[in-house]
C-alpha cells in the first residue's frame, strides 16, 4: 500500500472523478 495522501488522491480521482 502506498502513502495515504497519494492513495487518497488517486482513489478520489479514480473513484470520484
Per-residue pLDDT reduced to its tens digit, 1-17: 567 888 888 888 888 76
pLDDT of the residue at 16: 74
pTM (global) more than 0.75: no
DSSP state of 12: I
17 vs 1: CA distance, rounded Å? 21
pLDDT of the residue at 12: 85
- CA-to-CA separations, 11 to 1, 4, 8, in angstroms, rounded: 12, 10, 5
Within its chain, how far is the Cα of 17 from the centroid?
Answer: 11
Amino acid at each position: 500500500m502506498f502513502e495515504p495522501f497519494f492513495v487518497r488522491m488517486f482513489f478520489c480521482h479514480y473513484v470520484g472523478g
